[in-house]
Structure 1
Amino acid sequence: MEPQKPLPEPRQPEGCLVTAIRIPVRIVVLVLVVPVRMAWDALVVAGRFLNDTVLRPLGRALEWALEWTGRILFVWPLLGLWRYLLVPLGKGLAWLGNVLVVVPAVWLYRYLLTPAYAAGAWLVRYLVVVPAVWLYQWILTPSGHGVMWLLRGIGRGIAAAGIGVYTAVAWLVRYLVVVPAVWLYTWVLTPVGRGVTWLLRGIGVALYWVARVVFVLPVLALWRWVLTPVGRFLAVVGREVGDALGHAWRIAGHISLAVGRFLATLFRWVFVEPVRWVYRTVLTPVGHVVRDAVLRPVAQVARGVGRATREALASVRETARQARADFRRMLLGEPREPVAVDRREPTGLETRTLGRSTTALTKD
């Protein structure tokens, strides 16, 4: 099932004031917006043409130039510096560090520090730890138990004395401070606070009515009878101006599109079609005539001249080669012919087959 489309909201009834404002505003806005929209469309077309024909190729050329400039000035020098200087230098420093630092440090740790640590740990264990454990177990622990028993008895006595003192002080604080304070709060401060509260409440009510009569009611009347009607009128005017701008912009778009199409058609019939007609009916036949009457014969003559030149050059090279060979024979004599060597290779009839056990090398 297709989803149900939401119903359009019902239009509220409009008065004569809205209609009287709408028509003049739309006429004025349309007159003002049409030139702006046409100028905007012209700028858009010019910007697109400039972007497609100038800015985009220029940007691509700049991007290519910057890319290769960066490669030549930064990437390749840094790559060469890394590959042919820093990497060998790092390997050399790593080898020196291994030989001068790591190997001596490992030898020092293995053959000097480890035995020294083991000897020191043995000395500390039997000269410090064992005596300290014996001292703690047989001297400090019994002494500590006795001191704790003594301190526990002293603490019990002090606690009993403190309880008695706390009881006396609590009785004195109750009957000398708490009871008089409660009596003062109940019979003095509470009546006085209630009277002050009643007085402040009356003053607040009076100030409330004075502020309401002097400030609130005039402001409320100003808001209700002046600002609200003016605001509604301005809201209606603003809404109508906004709607008029939207309608005028759309109508101006259609007008600009029609004007653009008219200018494009005019440019086509005034410039493009005559140029196309001249190219098709004048330049094309003339080009065919020139091609058939001039260019093709000239090309055939050029090909013939080239072929004759190549043949002449080939004959000159062959003559020069024969002259060099004759001069070499005159100075050095005839070259010796190569002596044939018996390689004992079997002929086609003497080759080994599947039914014979001899080979060409053992046949003799």
Structure 2
Amino acid sequence: MELEKRPPEPSGREPGGAGASGGCLVVAIRMPVRIVALVLVVPVRMAWDALAATGRFLHRTVGRPVGRALAWLARAVCVWPFVALWRWVLVPAGRGLAWLARVLVVVPAGWAHRYLLAPLGRGLVWLYARVLTPVGQGAWWLLRGIGAVLAAVGAGLSTGAVWLGRYLVVVPVRWAVRYLVVVPAVRLYARVLTPAGRALARCARGVLRLLGVVVAGVVAALVWAGRVLLVVPAVAAWRWVFVPVGRVLVVVGREVGEALGHAWRVAGYVSVAVGRFLAALFRWVVVEPVRRVYRGVLTPVGHVVRDAVLRPVVEAVRGAGRTARQAVAAARETVRQARADVRRALFGEHPQGDAPASREPRRPAGRTLDGSTTALTYLTKD
């Protein structure tokens, strides 16, 4: 049939760049689709880049510290208590329970096995081997002899019973079954049932052949009707409607995808340019004025405040501290001299050799030119 012939396949792309199946359709679709895609994608790409930059900033400034704090809190709440519980509660408790189990269970069980169960088991084994086994063997030989006698008597009785039953019961019953049941059944099967079965089999084969011919005809008619009513229209619709429409949709989809990719890349360049412009604008509007104010105004003012206010205040505080330390040292020396005078007034003077050691810490003497311990001083003295 003509409907079953396939149209020739496209040979590829033309030198102009458009596909052989598209041609003018591709050229007519490409530019409008790219313009619309660029107009729609640029805001989306700029919003995406802004969200990505915001997300990176939040991740660096908020996410990492919060994550570290949450990790430390999780360790402090979930890990460290269980570690302490395991180390300081469960392990000592387990060791104590193991010691108690050993003392209360293992050692008594070993003692009972060694000094009670093992001797009892050895006694039972000796009783079985030396007493019960000989008694059992004797009883076995006795019962075996009685059984042999009873078996001989039973064999004689059974032989007689079998002989009587064979000639009084079995032979008459066998003759009656053979001539009253088997012979009539064999003749009935050979003379009646076999011919009737063959006739029924021939009739069944004929009926089956007739049904096969009828079913084959009906199936052939249904197949032809289905092919004419369903297959041929479906093939025609597929080849002359769906295939061209599908090719057009494929071309449109390919162009839309390429347009979206091109627009996404262009939007990336536009987003980068806008971001750089905004960064430069922020730098020249905010950062540079703040930097100039800091360098030209705040830094000199800070230097003046440091030199005119802070340094004199620090020097005054240091001088007051030195004066306070000197006053405290003088007061300590005065108190020490007063205590020494009171001690001399009450107990008298002590000899020079028996002078009690002072409980106050001795301060090292100041370093002078005569008391220096440098190598140059020793060489000068020599």
TM-score higher than 0.5 here? yes
How is 1:20-35 mapped onto 2 (pairs within 5 angstroms)? 20-35=28-43
Kindly indicate whether residue 136 of structure 2 is the aligned counterpart of residue 111 of structure 1: no
Matched with 1:274 is 289
1:121 equivalent in structure 2: 125
- Structure 2 letter corresponding to 1:128: L
My pick for the range that moved more, 105-114 or 212-221, is: 105-114
Aligned: 1:206 with 2:221? yes
Deviates more, 1:120-129 or 1:256-265: 120-129
Under a length normalisation based on structure 2, what TM-score does the superposition of the two structures give? 0.68
- 2:333 aligns with 318
CA apart distance, 1:190: 3.5
For residue 259 of structure 1, report the CA deviation from its aligned partner. 0.4
User: Equivalent residue for 2:233?
Assistant: 218
CA distance in 1, matches of 2:70, 2:350: 67
Match of 1:44 among 40, 49, 52: 52
**CA distance in structure 2 between the partners assigned to 1:304 and 1:195 by the alignment:** 134
Equivalent residue of 2:260, what SS?
Answer: helix
Shift of 1:261: 0.3
Q: After alignment, is 261-270 or 240-249 more displaced?
A: 240-249
Change (3 A) 1:81 1:21: same
Unaligned runs of 5+ in 1: 1-8, 340-364
Q: How many residues align?
A: 318
> Would the alpha carbon gap of residues 137 and 230 (structure 1) be closer, same or farther in structure 2, given more than 3 Å must change?
farther
- Call closer, same or farther: CA 1:38–1:104 in 2, change over 3 Å: closer
**1:254 deviation in Å?**
0.8
1:57 equivalent to 2:61? Answer no
Q: Relative to 1, partners in 2 of residues 1:22 and 1:94: Cα closer, same or farther, differing over 3 Å?
A: closer
Q: Write out per-residue CA displacement over residues 119-173 of structure 1, whole angstroms, 9 at most, x where no aligned residue.
A: 22222334433344455567649849x78xx7xx99xx9xxx9xxx9xx98x959
Rounded to whole Å, the distance in 2 between the matches of 1:118 and 1:174 is 78
Paired amino acid for 1:123 = L
Equivalent residue number for residue 26 of structure 2: 18
Corresponding residue number in structure 2 for 1:295: 310
CA deviation after TM superposition for structure 1 residue 23, in Å: 1.2
* 1:139-150 pair list within 5 angstroms: 140=144, 143=148
Q: For residue 230 of structure 1, what is the aligned residue in structure 2?
A: 245
Shift of 1:15: 0.7
TM-score w.r.t. the length of structure 1 is 0.71
Greater shift after overlay, 237-246 or 189-198? 189-198
Greater CA deviation, 258-267 or 31-40?
Answer: 31-40
SS in structure 2 of the partner of residue 286 of structure 1: helix
Q: Shift of residue 210 of structure 1?
A: 1.2
State the match for 2:265 in structure 1.
250
Which residue does 1:261 correspond to in 2?
A: 276
Distance 2:295 2:224 in 1: 97
**Unaligned regions of 5+ residues in structure 2, if any?**
1-11, 172-176, 356-382
SS in 2 for 1:114: helix
CA-CA distance at 1:202 after TM superposition: 1.7
- Other-structure match for 1:328: 343
Instruction: Report the CA distance shift for 1:107/1:290 in structure 2 as closer, same or farther (over 3 A).
Output: closer
Relative to 1, partners in 2 of residues 1:125 and 1:182: Cα closer, same or farther, differing over 3 Å? farther
* 1:91-110 matches, cutoff 5 A: 91=96, 94=98, 96-110=100-114
The letter for the 1-side match of 2:27 is: T
Instruction: Give CA deviations for 1:183-211 in whole Å, capped at 9, x if unaligned.
Output: 45874444443333222222211111011
The separation in 2 between residues aligned to 1:116 and 1:176, in whole angstroms, is: 85
